[in-house]
Structures are given as structure tokens and as C-alpha cells.
A and B are shown apart, each in its own frame.
Chain A
């Protein structure tokens, strides 16, 4: 069963919050992982690994650099699960 974008947004916010300590309600779709949320590359890889498991998708390493904002990641995951 596919997750809705709202469910992905909420689940991703939880993962980011666990990794960074930021409150989930600050992990908004328009936020940039690096510029707004101060997430380094190792943390980003951790978030990707946890998101792949949580949403049963594959996010290729080449794709990660295109995921600038939280919204980018939500869209990618949403598309990847229906692929």
C-alpha cells in the first residue's frame, strides 16, 4: 500500500527530528536540508537510509544530491513507491 504525500511528509519529519533534534513541525516541505536544517552529508545519508527502510523505496545515491528540500524528498519518495 502506498503512502500519501502527507504520510511521507510526517514520517520524514520524524526521521529528521530524531537525527537532528529539531521539532517535527519545523521540518517543513520548503526547508532546505543543508541551508535551513543544517544537515551534513553523513546525517543526510542516515536520513536516506532510514527513509528507504520506512517507506520501502530505493533512493539511489545519484538522486540524493537532487533532494534539496524536504518537499523534494517527499515527492521523490512518493514517486518511487509507485514506480
Chain B
């Protein structure tokens, strides 16, 4: 018999290529709009980068934060703070003892703008010109620390780093903090700000990025036979996690429940997913067992699906392996077709999408799929949003990261 508290989501916040907050982002996603644009700069030409587009945040941080805040935080922390403030306000700014409040905010890459700017300063102007805030700004735990300071979260401040699974792992960690009794409320999510010429060059060097420069909005096309890589995006997604008892006691509005989490390691390759999908499968199975849901309960999956030739299908086969015939009842959505890949923020943003999909009983669309891969044997929600059934529903959000990090979260409606 388990006595661990149920964990619910009571607040949502985000800044993404689709919008400056959750309502605008979700509305754009349901409408099937792309957030991917040609970059408003000359990086491709100047540096010979084969990719000239990305998913930049729809609302620049400078329009939301004060000037000192933008100077004292790397963009990765700025986005996290924007999303966290929204999530906290959305949760009704809960009154909670700081000793019972946690902050878990992940980034896959960390403060790369600050790090590279600092190195430029050393080379061009010498060590004496390097700003003293450089280290506090570049450290990958900086977004988590800034959120913890803002809200007085003293139960613990954490920043799991697991590449593109980071955001989902942060939520999983937050759930565990509440289940283990360390906290009643946790601000959890992911953030990324790596739309910078160096990471774009480096991802392009791996042939990981789409080079569809003449059609940026059509470049992220998971499961399409012409998919040629992911689209680099930036932004943040943050949720307020709360023990169900705590949320009930203060009469909080509840979006849904994080019912289960499953994690695994591929132990296979530093960048390639394990080809049989055994690690991904294990993560999904563990999440479902943890949530105590059966294959029949799962009606929706927000796939990791980044639009790479190999990765998309490994996940599809894994879903089939886990759900068997019940996979036929799943509405599969690949929202990266619209948002691009927010790396360390992706898992958090897609958890938000999953929770809202169950709340609204609507699976968001997957855009740009004109010729589905013949190996795709699942019910992909294409082009327009699709209704989900009535009743008690469960959804899975998958996130997989370079290095073999597999995180699956099961969310349910309330």
C-alpha cells in the first residue's frame, strides 16, 4: 500500500516560439501554426552555417523583464523566470512555507550565450574586462537558482541535466520531491536558449538539423518521409506541482495529475538512440506501472519525435511494443512540428501540452506531414486537432536525450 502523496499540476507557464505564455502557445498549437522562421540575422552567410532558421521566442525577454534582470541573467534563466512567474501566478501564488517549496529547473546546454560572450571578451579585451556575473550567469543551475531565489524555495533547488530529456526529468524530480515528503509544492520545468551560431553550427555538423532553408515553417516534419532533421528552438516551460492534499486544502484549480514517471538509460551511444528502442520502451513501461495505468487507459501520446530519420521510428516501434493492439486507440501528436525542438525545455513544454490535451479533450495536430513514413503504424493526429474520448484519460509524454536519457511521464485528467 502506497502512502506517497498524489501530485497534481496547479499552474502553467511558458515562453515559446508560438507565444509569450501558455494560452497563446496552446492556441497556436491547436491551430497548427508553426513558430519557425528564417533568422533575422546574417549568421548563415557570415559563418557559412548551412541552416538559416530556428524557433526564436515569440516575445523577446526584454519586453517582459527589467533591464537589470536581462543584464544579470543568461537568456536561459530569463526564459525560466518568465515561465516560472506565469506558472506561479496561474497557480494563484500559493501560500507555502519556503521550507516546503522546491525549485527544479533544467537546461540541456546551460548559459551558452554568457559563456561564449565571456570568452570573446577575454580574447578581444583581456581578462580584466570579464564581468563578475559571468560564472553565476553561465552555470547550468542558474535558471533553477534564480527561480528558487525569486520564490524563496528552500526545500531544495535542483537542475538535472540530461540533454533533450532535461525538462521532463525536472518534472519527474519535482514529483519525487513531493512523493518523498521533502516538499508540498515544487516549481518545475525546463529552459533553453541556444539559438546561437556555435550550437547551430555544432548540431549541423552532426547532420542533426533540417536544412530546409527555403521552407522554415515546413522544416520540422516528424514522420514525413522527407524529414531531414530537427529545428533548433528556444524557450521555457514551467509547471507548479503540488501534493493533491495541499492543492485541495487551498481550493486550487487542478489541471491534471502527474500519475507516473519512468526513466531509463540506453547505455549505448553518446548521441544515437539505441536502435531496438529497449530503453525507451522500459521508460514507458515503468511510467505506466508507476501510474498504475493499463495500455487501454492511454488515449494520447505527445511523442518525442524530433523529425530525424532514425529517431522518430524507434519511438513508434517502442510505443507499439509497450501498448500492443491498444496502441491503435492512441492519438499520437508530434508538437515539435510546430514548436521546433526546445532541447532542455521540450519535455516540460510537452508535459504542459499533454495536460492541456486531456483537460480540453483535444489532441494537438502534427503539421507538415504530407507523406507519412510507411513504417508509421500509429494514429497520427495530422493537420488539425482531434477530439479525445470522454472519461478518465491517461497520456504519455516521451522525452529522450543525447547520451541515452529516456524519460516518460504519465499524466491523467482530474
A: residues with CB less than 8 A from B are 18-21, 42, 45-46, 49-50, 52-53
Contact = CB atoms under 8 A, between A and B. Distances in A.
Given A42-B133, A46-B133, A52 B67 contact: no
B250 interface: no
Contacts of B125: 53
B71 A19 contact: yes
Given A21-B66, A21-B68, A53-B125, 8 more contacts: A18-B67, A18-B68, A19-B72, A20-B68, A42-B132, A52-B128, A52-B129, A53-B129
B68 A46 contact: no
A46 B67 contact: no
B128 A46 contact: no
B275 to A, nearest CB: 49
Contacts of A19: 68, 71-72
Interface string B120-139: 00000100111111001000
Interface residues of B, number: 13
B179 to A, nearest CB: 37
A21 B132 contact: no
Task: Specify the main secondary structure of chain A where it touches its partner.
Answer: helix
A34 to B, nearest CB: 16
27 contacts: A18-B67, A18-B68, A18-B71, A19-B68, A19-B71, A19-B72, A20-B68, A21-B66, A21-B67, A21-B68, A42-B132, A42-B133, A42-B136, A45-B132, A46-B131, A46-B132, A46-B133, A49-B128, A49-B129, A49-B130, A49-B131, A49-B132, A50-B131, A52-B128, A52-B129, A53-B125, A53-B129
A49 B136 CA distance: 16
Contacts of A46: 131-133
A35 B51 CA distance: 51
Contacts of A42: 132-133, 136
Query: Which 5 pairs show the lowest CB-CB distances between chains A and B?
Result: A45-B132, A21-B68, A46-B132, A21-B66, A42-B132
Interface of B: 66-68, 71-72, 125, 128-133, 136
A46 B128 CA distance: 11
A18 B66 CA distance: 9
A68 B136 CA distance: 25
Nearest to B135: A42
Contacts of A18: 67-68, 71
B61 to A, nearest CB: 15
A70 B66 CA distance: 23
Nearest to B132: A45
A49 B129 CA distance: 6
A50 B129 CA distance: 8
Contacts of B136: 42
A55 to B, nearest CB: 13
A42 B71 CA distance: 13
B375 to A, nearest CB: 55
Nearest to A22: B68
Nearest to B71: A18
A26 to B, nearest CB: 14
Contacts of B130: 49
Contacts of A45: 132
A18 B62 CA distance: 13
Nearest to A58: B128
A18 B71 CA distance: 8
A60 B367 CA distance: 59
A42 B72 CA distance: 11
Contacts of A50: 131
Contacts of A53: 125, 129
Contacts of A20: 68
A32 B248 CA distance: 49
Nearest to B130: A49
A49 B66 CA distance: 21
Nearest to B72: A19
A52 B256 CA distance: 53
A48 to B, nearest CB: 9
B35 to A, nearest CB: 31
